[in-house]
Amino acid sequence: MNLLVTGGAGYIGTHTLVELTKAGHTFTVIDNFYNSKPQALKNVEQITGKPVRFFEGDLLDREFLASVFDLDKFDGVIHFAAFKAVGESVAKPIEYYNNNLTGTLNLLAEMKRCGVENLVYSSSATVYGEPETVPVTENFPTSATNPYGWTKWMSEQILQDVAKADPDFSVILLRYFNPVGAHESGLIGEDPNDIPNNLMPRIVSVAAGKIDHLDVFGNDYDTEDGTCLRDYIHVCDLAWGHCLAIEKLQHMKGVEIFNLGTGRGTSVNELIEGFERVNGVPVPHKVSERRPGDVPVVYADVEKSRRELGFEAKHTVDEMCRDAWKYYKNHTENN
Ligand code: WQD
């Protein structure tokens, strides 16, 4: 398929471009480089050996967006572009609702104008809030506890309503659990422009000596070692899931929702220990207060993704730790 990829220069976007290329798809990227860098697309070219067509611009700029849609007939869209920092969204709700929701609405308006009827949307397990039980299936109740999560939840509602109104519109909502790691080349990876808040990039920053120690946000949860469990999934497995979703889109109408996770929970302590063991580097850490809003245990039921997408995460937590550290070392050596 010939695809438009919004936010394609980002962490998950770049890894997906590599998998799309391997699967024989063509694509055009649009990105405003708010939380990414043009060099990331050059690194994708180095991995694939193929040029990446991209345009710098913003989904909030209707003229820019229309100019891209007028350039080419797209068979579908993968929509990554969004602000995604939970804490920042609490401090800047207007920016988050405007950027994430108006961006999605502008994209949908252009898709309708140009007759583009297939969309894969980058959603998040954050819409499950604090699930009553685990593992989490796609029909669990959804909600949010912060503006970032609400923008994901609201975008899902918008897309479902658009699909109801237009029977030819096909949408797949991919609910990511916790993407970590990097491509084995060490050329692309998680490279936020801001200070990372998520666990794995902070472990990397501590191992690199950029941060003195890691605060473990509470070890008195009702889990085996007292720390929170999450479903960490290698970003390359996540990227492959997008290729499977693009294939699925061609044989369906309406909306389908899929969890992209491993189906297994890993605790904070287990991730720290694994990182130290695999990479042979210490990660100084100490227990601190719980982080408000943290959910004790979340991990995916991936049965539907396995059955209907043929999705199966292949990378281990050790490989996630190895690849995250390899990217950091390779990236800093080359900068
Ligand atoms: C994981 C665990 C923390 C940092 C995020 C956001 C959002 C979403 C991915 C897209 C928790 C603990 C963390 C630290 C710690 N992305 N931790 N010390 O909480 O699942 O949420 O998931 O949708 O970015 O919703 O991921 O990596 O922030 O935290 O102890 O310095 O690590 O308490 O238990 P989380 P996380």
Active site (catalytic) residues:
148
Residuewise pLDDT in 10s, the chain (335 residues): 999 999 999 999 999 999 999 999 999 999 999 989 999 999 999 999 999 999 999 999 999 999 999 999 999 999 999 999 998 999 999 999 999 999 999 999 999 999 999 999 999 999 999 999 999 999 999 999 999 999 999 999 999 999 999 999 999 999 999 999 999 999 999 986 666 789 999 999 999 999 999 999 999 999 999 999 999 999 999 999 999 999 999 999 999 999 999 999 999 999 999 999 999 999 999 999 999 889 999 999 999 999 999 999 999 999 999 999 999 999 876 65
Q: 12 to each of 6, 49, 111, 178, how far by Cα in Å?
A: 11, 19, 22, 11
For the CA of 124, the closest atom of ligand 1 is 23
- Nearest partner of 124 among 153, 145, 88, 159, judged by Cα: 153
Work out the angle between the directed axes of helices 268-279 and 317-333 (0-180°, nearest 10).
60
Topology of the domain comprising 2-179+232-261: Rossmann fold (3.40.50)
Q: Which of 128, 130, 199 should be mutated for ligand 1, with most atoms under 8 A from CB?
A: 199
Q: What is the pLDDT of residue 118?
A: 98
Q: Say if ligand 1 is within 6 A of residue 216 CB.
A: yes
Name the phi and psi angles at 14, rounded to 5: -65, -40
Q: Say if ligand 1 is within 6 A of residue 203 CB.
A: no
The per-residue pLDDT for range 70-114, each reduced to its tens digit, is 999 999 999 999 999 998 999 999 999 999 999 999 999 999 999
- Nearest partner of 145 among 82, 228, 229, 86, judged by Cα: 86
Q: State the Cα–Cα distance between residues 94 and 97, nearest whole angstrom.
A: 5
Query: What distance in angstroms lies between residue 73's CA and the mean position of ligand 1's atoms?
Result: 39
Q: Say if ligand 1 is within 6 A of residue 288 CB.
A: no
Closest residue (by CA) to atom 27 of ligand 1?
198
Q: Say if ligand 1 is within 6 A of residue 188 CB.
A: no
The per-residue pLDDT for range 178-221, each reduced to its tens digit, is 999 999 999 999 986 666 789 999 999 999 999 999 999 999 99
Q: Are 127 and 156 in contact (CB under 8 A)?
A: yes
pTM, whole model, 2 decimals? 0.97
- Please report which helix (H) or strand (E) contains residue 19, including its range: helix 11-22
Q: Say if ligand 1 is within 6 A of residue 198 CB.
A: yes
How many other CB atoms are there within 10 angstroms of residue 279's CB atom? 20
